[in-house]
């Protein structure tokens, strides 16, 4: 990113525009959007935004940037980049405060801390942190700029295959060392907190999971990185996603999960869809579309 003031970038994002030529992770203004799932108070938390260039490296890696541009042009969007939200989810009961994912953290810097404050929560209030997967935009907020654990009173739960994978990454050594004493691993599919069950969704990382949140007959599924763009990932779920560790596994999971969601009318939280990222997946003309919850 060029040397631009954070306030200038935030003003640009807030107005719905992105500065010409800028791509990559950028700051975004804090926001907290609350609703209920049964007896639980759930809050979508804004952290940042990722401006992805349409260069064939991420979206439509197998079909090329021209095909992606044609899709974007067809729905009235600019064709050179794709904007993705980077958000987290807070789940509160009478006795627990659970945070799902932590955003990009101090490198951007992310706005998760300020968004938590808008929700009336301090980092030390968090009792459990659940991680969908160990990419930097989901775990970066686990540590401070000087390498200390942010959620010092929390148990940090990570699927065992992802925790093993994370510890093998030299660039993540500071982070994994800082949180190791708080980490509790689980096998995908296990219950991880009261009313929250991990859901195996293979392909993105070795242990990528979603989280099904259930209370009093109501439910919400955090789909993690099953789908990134509310446009491209739904209209063309078969296109290769460059962020997936296993491209074919990612396609298979995306196709299966989107089919299931369109049939079940399951309410979902998608951390990279336009904030607050809460709504439903619907089938339309052989493809899928996003219906935001109002």
pLDDT digits (tens, 9 = 90+) for 175-215: 999 999 999 999 999 999 999 999 999 999 999 999 999 99
Percent of the chain with pLDDT over 90: 90
Q: What's phi and psi for 91, nearest 5 deg?
A: -125, 120
pLDDT value for 118: 98
Assess contact for 33 and 277: CB atoms under 8 A: no
- Quickly tell me which residue has 């640009």 as its tokens: 12
Distances (CA, A) of 275 to 49, 173, 278, 284: 10, 31, 8, 22
The span from the CA of 258 to the CA of 227, in Å, is: 9
CA 158 to chain centre: 15
As given in the structure block, the two tokens for residue 164 are 């093993």
Q: State the average pLDDT over residues 138-146.
A: 96
The span from the CA of 140 to the CA of 199, in Å, is: 22
What are the tens digits of pLDDT across the range 47-67? 999 999 999 999 999 999 999
Using H for helix, E for strand and C for coil, what is the string for 235-270?
Answer: HCCCCCECCCCCHHHHHHHHHHHHHHHHHHCCCEEC
31-60 CB burial, b ≥16 within 10 A, e <16: bbbeeebbebbbbbbbbbbbbbbbebebbb
pLDDT value for 133: 98
What's the whole-number average pLDDT of the chain? 93
pLDDT value for 93: 97
CA 150 to chain centre: 19
pLDDT value for 150: 98
Tallying the residues shown for the chain, one arrives at 294
Q: What's phi and psi for 221, nearest 5 deg?
A: -105, 120
Own/partner long-range contacts of 261-266 (Cβ < 8 Å, ≥24 apart): 261/221, 261/223, 262/288, 266/219, 266/221
Banded model confidence at residue 2, pLDDT cuts 50, 70, 90 = very low
pLDDT value for 7: 35
As given in the structure block, the two tokens for residue 227 are 């789908």
pLDDT value for 294: 86
The span from the CA of 145 to the CA of 129, in Å, is: 19
The candidate with the shortest Cα–Cα distance to 44, out of 287, 280, 274, is: 274
Q: State the average pLDDT over residues 154-161.
A: 98
What are the tens digits of pLDDT across the range 233-281? 999 999 999 999 999 999 999 999 999 999 999 999 999 999 999 999 9
CA 166 to chain centre: 17
Q: Which helix (H) or strand (E) holds 115?
A: helix 112-118
Q: Which helix (H) or strand (E) holds 6?
A: helix 6-14
Assess contact for 258 and 287: CB atoms under 8 A: no
The span from the CA of 58 to the CA of 72, in Å, is: 15
Assess contact for 58 and 243: CB atoms under 8 A: yes
């Amino acid at each position: 990113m060029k040397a631009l003031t954070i306030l200038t970038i935030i003003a640009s994002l807030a107005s719905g525009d992105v500065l010409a030529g800028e791509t990559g992770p950028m700051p975004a203004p804090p926001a907290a959007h609350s609703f209920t799932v049964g007896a639980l108070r759930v809050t979508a938390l804004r952290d940042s935004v990722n401006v992805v260039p349409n260069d064939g490296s991420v979206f439509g890696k197998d079909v090329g940037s021209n095909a992606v541009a044609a899709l974007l042009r067809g729905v009235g969007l600019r064709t050179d980049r794709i904007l993705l939200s980077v958000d987290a989810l807070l789940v509160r009961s009478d006795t627990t405060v659970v945070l799902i994912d932590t955003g990009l953290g101090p490198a951007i810097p992310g706005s998760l801390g300020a968004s938590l404050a808008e929700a009336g929560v301090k980092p030390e209030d968090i009792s459990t942190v659940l991680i969908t997967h160990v990419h930097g935009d989901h775990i970066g907020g686990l540590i401070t700029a000087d390498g200390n654990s942010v959620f010092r009173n929390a148990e940090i739960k990570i699927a065992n295959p992802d925790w093993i994978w994370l510890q093998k990454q030299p660039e993540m050594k500071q982070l994994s060392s800082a949180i190791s004493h708080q980490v509790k691993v689980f096998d995908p599919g296990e219950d991880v907190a009261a009313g929250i069950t991990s859901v195996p969704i293979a392909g993105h990382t070795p242990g990528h999971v979603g989280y099904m949140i259930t209370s009093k007959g109501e439910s919400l599924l955090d789909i993690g990185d099953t789908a990134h763009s509310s446009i491209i990932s739904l209209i063309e779920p078969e296109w290769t996603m460059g962020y997936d560790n296993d491209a074919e596994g990612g396609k298979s999971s995306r196709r299966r999960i989107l089919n299931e969601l369109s049939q079940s009318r399951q309410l979902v939280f998608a951390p990279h869809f336009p904030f607050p990222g809460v709504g439903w997946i619907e089938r339309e003309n052989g493809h899928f579309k996003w219906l935001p919850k109002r």
